Amino acid sequence: MITLIATGGTIASTASPEGRSVGVKAQDLVNEAKKVWPLPAVHTQDTLSLVSSALSGQDIISLKNQCHTNQPSVITHGTDALEETAFALSLFHNKNDPPIVLTGAQRPFDDASPDGPRNLAAAIAWANSSQAHATGVTVVFADQVLPAIGVKKTHSLALNGFSAPGRGPIGVVDEAGVRKFAHPCLPEPLLDEVAPRVDDIPVVTSHIGTSAQQVEDILAHNPQGIVVEGMGSGNPPPHVTIRILKAIDQGVPVLVTSRTGAGPTIGLYAGGGADLARAGAVFVGDLSTAQARWLLAASLTHHHRWKDVLKTWLIQTGCMAATPLVT
């Protein structure tokens, strides 16, 4: 038996004079998916009814508690924040737990040519397959199976709007069946029952003309930690780097991502990433900024061990090499 947990999103939206609104029930989604190809029995569960840009950190924790511990779960979800929810759920997930599969749609339920039914049919088929065993949390979209760790929404409207640059897809689901041709890197869970304080992790963005005042304003609110979204391989402007270095010296945990959307982060340049790396900032490989916020919040639940726990997780997932070739 597969459990479908419906949370809203475009897949469950229809047009209205004010704009698209969520209202389609889980059973209606399944009924349309069954028109694509035969599916196993599905137990439906309506929970949130929101566009995913309206979700809170607590909503994600509640969703985690609704996933079954003895059977696969499929979650229909809005695409705006799908990569965050998938990643957050993976932080709790044990590799031997039943698979959790997320999907959604780029076109609404009442579109003349909706993509939701096929995405959901593929997600259910994947969740029900032995191929999905020990693959953790995955995202099924446009016939592709993508790992939660490293998945990104890479196009705002295209039907193939998700990818996992450098990591996926790990499989496909289509008329020819379910095929897995790679296995995701699955770390030990970072979280058990402790809810990470992700709302307390702000982001410092980098662009030409970024003001160091942005960092000052963030630090005035005593954040748990900071994610720095750098240019290129992880470089803030030099004057911003100087202020972040002071924050690190004051004991503020700092993770570094890249705004590029693909490829690793590494501290290579003086006045930018190299200075941050020497000071103790942690570069988190190919993770998106949104996923890095959850990772830092989860790591900080381990208190004084947070950095060791974080680095172990990064090595287990391929985000960090145990021995870099350039330091």
Provide the token pair at 167: 């990591």
- CA 78, CA 13: separation in Å to the nearest integer? 10
Residue 204 and residue 168 share a domain: no
Among 151, 180, 209, give the residue marking a domain's end. Answer: 180
Per the domain annotation, does 296 fall within a domain? yes
Residue 326 lies in a domain: no
User: Is residue 56 in some structural domain?
Assistant: yes
Is residue 289 within 8 A of residue 278, CB to CB? The reply is no
Q: Please check the confidence at residue 309 and state whether its pLDDT lies above 70.
A: yes
Number of structural domains the chain divides into: 2
Looking at the fold, whether 148 and 212 belong to one and the same domain comes out as no
Segment 24-51, tens digit of pLDDT:
999 999 999 999 999 999 999 999 898 9
Q: 310 with 165, same domain? A: no
299 and 245 share one domain: yes
Q: Output phi, psi for 314, to 5 deg.
A: -65, -40
Q: Could you tell me the end-to-end alpha-carbon distance of the chain, in angstroms, rounded to an integer?
A: 50
For residue 57, name the pLDDT band (cuts at 50, 70, 90): confident
Do 252 and 296 lie in one domain? The reply is: yes
pLDDT on residue 192 = 83
Residue 327 in any domain: the answer is no
Half-sphere exposure of 243 (CA within 13 A, CB side): 18
In a domain, 204, yes or no: yes
Res. 326: pLDDT tops 90? no
pTM: 0.95
Query: What is the arithmetic mean of pLDDT over 254-283?
Result: 96
Boundary (domain end) residue, out of 131, 153, 180: 180
Same domain, 164 and 85: yes
250 and 281 housed in the same domain: yes
- Model confidence pLDDT, tens digit, residues 115-134: 999 999 999 999 999 999 99
Q: What is the CATH number of the domain that holds 274?
A: 3.40.50.40
Instruction: Mark whether 218 and 144 lie in a shared domain.
Output: no
Q: What is the pLDDT of residue 170?
A: 97
The one-letter code for the residue type at 47 is T
Instruction: Look at residue 186 and tell me if it is in a domain.
Output: no
In this structure, of 55-69, 71-85, 225-239, the range with the lowest mean pLDDT score is 55-69
Helix ranges, the chain (H): 26-33, 57-66, 82-92, 116-128, 213-219, 238-249, 273-279, 289-300, 306-316
Share of the chain above pLDDT 90, in %: 88
Query: Looking at residue 327, what is its pLDDT?
Result: 67
- Is residue 155 very low, low, confident or very high in pLDDT (cuts 50, 70, 90)? very high
Residue 193 has what pLDDT?
Answer: 77
Same domain, 254 and 228: yes
231: which DSSP letter?
B
- Picking from 128, 87, 107, the residue whose alpha carbon sits closest to that of residue 9 is 107
In-domain check, residue 187: no
Domain range for 89 is 2-180
Same domain, 235 and 304: yes
User: HSE (CB half, 13 Å, CA atoms) of 196?
Assistant: 29
Q: How far apart are CA 11 and CA 312, in angstroms?
A: 37
31 in the same domain as 119: yes
193 belongs to a structural domain:
no
Q: What is the pLDDT of residues 165-194, one digit of tens each?
A: 999 899 999 999 999 999 999 999 999 877
Do 142 and 250 belong together in one domain? no
Residue at which a domain ends, from 180, 211, 244: 180
Average pLDDT over residues 281-304: 96
User: Percent of the chain, pLDDT > 70?
Assistant: 100
pLDDT at position 12 over 80: yes
Mean pLDDT score across all residues of the chain:
95
